[in-house]
Chain A
Amino acid sequence: MTTHPLTHPQSKTGLQSLWVWIAAVAVVWIFQFFFVGYVDPYYFSIVMYSGINATLAVSLNLVNGFTGQFSMGHAGFMSVGGYVSALTTSLVVAKYPGIMGVDAGGPGIEGAILLVGALFLGGLVASLAGFLVGLPSLRLKGDYLAIVTLGFGEIIRVIVLNLNVVGGARGMANIPALTNFGWVFSVCIFTVFTIWRIVNSAHGRRFLSVREDEIAAEAMGVNTTAVKVRAFVMGAFFAGVAGGLFAHYLRYLNPQTFDFNRSFEIVIMVVLGGMGSITGSVLAALLLTVLKEALRPLQEITRLDFRMVIYSLMLIILMLNKPNGLMGTREISDVYQSFREKLRVRFGANQGSDQKGAKK
């Protein structure tokens, strides 16, 4: 293609703007190979759960924040993905125990391929569940949709509870330990990348138009049903992948893990971070995961379980002071821009007058 006069100074195509994301993944793997071994296991687990929660929150934000469909069944999709991928790897490892590399000191490249395959499969089945749930229930709006999705989450839990293949109420144990720091954060970065890119494209504007005014969007030619289902399916996919990571990290799944409290937790992260802000979801996921653990010593000192009381109090105070969440609908790039603008006003204005003076 010949050069065109339209080139926007900010726009970058293809690989030019991919490098930030690739660099982030590279840093993650450098950490995985050189530093992870030195981290205290307790703190390490907090880091891991932060990453998984961030993935969940960002994917739910696509549905709740950007498309404006209040879904409360994210734990259901997470459990579908978790169980499917855990079942896959368990079956494969039972047949080929060599994959786990007991002699080699850990799973090698085969383990990685198995994990990625299982995560993908888990995500696909979860998104299929998202499609099946979304198609009929997305006709509902607001509170009604919230109740239906909440019900869906419980249905999944009860089904799993009665499935003997995955251990039923006993839970599913001995899931191969395939998740590591590198995978959790690669997936997290990939999720943020995908949703960031899609939200900032014509597809993303469609999501937003449905959130803003469904009737107007439909009148402008937006196929609102398809858009809503697409958001639901995509959100469910990433929730399923996060569930798979969770399963292969904890190595034990129990239907109780995915009850509605879990769904609420993710919804809280999205709301606290700001509906429609990816940065906010990531921040809130980190904050809440750390906060819950940081309050643990308090419990030991007072010998009373005040932890959740304080946790909810802090949430209430935060929401009272910042009703739109930590970030509102702003992203880190907006914050950076306004910060630069402030700097420019402060120092750039001086520079401008200096130049004027110099010209004279």
Chain B
Amino acid sequence: MSQSPCALQIEGLTMQFGGLKAVSEFKLELPAGKIYGLIGPNGAGKTTVFNMLTGVYQPTLGSIQVWGQPVIGLKPFEITKKGIARTFQNIRLFKQLSVLDNVMISMDEDPSRPHHGLLPSLFRTRQAVYDEERAEVDCSELLGIFGLDHRKDDLASSLPYGDQRRLEIARAMATGAKLLLLDEPAAGMNPHETEKLMATIEKIRTQFGMTILLIEHDMKLVMGICERISVLDYGVRIAEGTPKEIQGNPRVIEAYLGKAPEQSKTPAATSINTGDLK
């Protein structure tokens, strides 16, 4: 993997569905090792951006570079091998497989790991068995970081909701990608689980040098761990900056809460608005 300081570089990214411009002229520069938030009201185009980044949609215009390599036109599985992996808004685990297998499937695809053809797998050569065990140990270790190692033999569907979300992150990490796209990682979590998740995200960033781009509605999480934030509204980036700047940005407040009538634009009203955002 190239050691470009920039994990992700997006320029002029536009997605047009017929007459609807879901995302227009989106731009983003994400330095390695940062946690970056992408927020916006429902239907603003956040998930569309993720789908373009991972090759699910082909953007109408624009360029995307992952670790300095262009990824437009590649298939989703090829893009993953460039070092970018995602989680899903509605959990998409391999439900009827064990927790360990969920992670193993991703680790098998890590391009930096040894791969074996059909014949070595058929005859279980020493090397194939060794690499398989090695992957198993590494997967257990990875699951340990997420506190899931004691449940590695259970079916993924049997995990509690918060653990399923964390397993998705573990699975994405197992691909060997250093850039993670988390699509609403805290959706449906209670405040306690969200706090645990924030700690985990911080941990994987510091311990593994992961770069993280996340979509989230939970403002406590976004404002708490993101170093910078982009705000999308109707497919257009209306603001970019640190959490502090975003919280005070009138355009952002307007996008979320609507324009306040002229006469009621008192200090009290703004404080309620920013309070909501916090």
Q: Which residues of A contact B (CB under 8 A)?
A: 1, 4, 6-8, 11-14, 17-18, 194, 197-198, 201-203, 205-206, 208-209, 212-213, 215-224, 329
Structural contact, A6 and B109, CB atoms closer than 8 A: no
Beyond A202-B115, A217-B94, list 5 extra A-B contacts (CB 8 Å): A4-B130, A13-B125, A198-B121, A205-B101, A216-B92
Q: Complex: how many Å from CA A198 to CA B116?
A: 11
**A342 shortest CB reach to chain B, Å:** 18
Contacts of B109 in A (CB 8 A): 220-222
Structural contact, A216 and B118, CB atoms closer than 8 A: no
Question: Per a CB cutoff under 8 Å, which of B75, B94, B124 touches A12?
Answer: B124
Question: Per a CB cutoff under 8 Å, which of B75, B86, B122, B175 touches A197?
Answer: B122
Question: Which B residues, 112 to 139, have Cβ-Cβ distances below 8 Å to chain A?
Answer: 115-116, 118, 121-130, 132-137
Question: Per a CB cutoff under 8 Å, which of B106, B126, B132, B133 touches A14?
Answer: B126
Q: Complex: how many Å from CA A237 to CA B93?
A: 31
- B96 interfacial contact with A, CB 8 Å: yes
Contacts of B241 in A (CB 8 A): none
Q: Complex: how many Å from CA A198 to CA B95?
A: 21
- B97 interfacial contact with A, CB 8 Å: yes
Contacts of A223 in B (CB 8 A): 75, 77
**B6 shortest CB reach to chain A, Å:** 22
Structural contact, A221 and B175, CB atoms closer than 8 A: yes
Contacts of A8 in B (CB 8 A): 133, 136
Structural contact, A220 and B80, CB atoms closer than 8 A: yes
- B54 interfacial contact with A, CB 8 Å: yes
Q: Chain B interface mostly helix, strand, loop or mixed?
A: helix
Q: Do A206 and B133 contact each other (CB < 8 Å), given the known contacts A13-B126, A198-B121? A: no
Contacts of A209 in B (CB 8 A): 94, 97, 105
Q: Which residues of B contact A (CB under 8 A)?
A: 54, 56, 75-77, 80-81, 85-86, 88, 92-97, 101, 104-106, 108-111, 115-116, 118, 121-130, 132-137, 171-172, 174-175
Structural contact, B105 and A220, CB atoms closer than 8 A: yes
Question: Per a CB cutoff under 8 Å, which of A6, A221, A222 touches B134?
Answer: A6
Structural contact, A212 and B96, CB atoms closer than 8 A: yes
**B113 shortest CB reach to chain A, Å:** 10
**A5 shortest CB reach to chain B, Å:** 9
Contacts of B135 in A (CB 8 A): 202
Q: Do A220 and B130 contact each other (CB < 8 Å), given the known contacts A203-B118, A212-B95, A215-B92? A: no
Q: Do A206 and B122 contact each other (CB < 8 Å), given the known contacts A4-B130, A11-B133, A220-B171? A: no
Structural contact, B104 and A220, CB atoms closer than 8 A: no
Q: Complex: how many Å from CA A217 to CA B101?
A: 12
Contacts of A221 in B (CB 8 A): 77, 80-81, 85, 106, 109-111, 175
Question: Per a CB cutoff under 8 Å, which of B94, B118, B130, B172 touches A1?
Answer: B130
Q: Complex: how many Å from CA A20 to CA B128?
A: 20
Contacts of A205 in B (CB 8 A): 97, 101, 104-105, 108
Q: Complex: how many Å from CA A123 to CA B105?
A: 29
Q: Complex: how many Å from CA A201 to CA B122?
A: 8
Q: Complex: how many Å from CA A329 to CA B56?
A: 31
Structural contact, B116 and A202, CB atoms closer than 8 A: yes
**B37 shortest CB reach to chain A, Å:** 21
Contacts of A14 in B (CB 8 A): 123-126
Q: Complex: how many Å from CA A206 to CA B101?
A: 10
Name the residue among A7, A203, A221 with the largest chain B CB count within 10 angstroms. A221
Q: Complex: how many Å from CA A202 to CA B101?
A: 10
Structural contact, A198 and B122, CB atoms closer than 8 A: yes
20 pairs of residues in contact across A and B, judged by CB atoms under 8 Å = A11-B129, A14-B126, A18-B123, A194-B122, A197-B124, A202-B116, A206-B105, A208-B105, A209-B94, A216-B88, A216-B93, A217-B105, A218-B75, A218-B76, A219-B76, A220-B106, A220-B175, A221-B85, A221-B109, A222-B109
Contacts of B105 in A (CB 8 A): 205-206, 208-209, 217, 220, 222
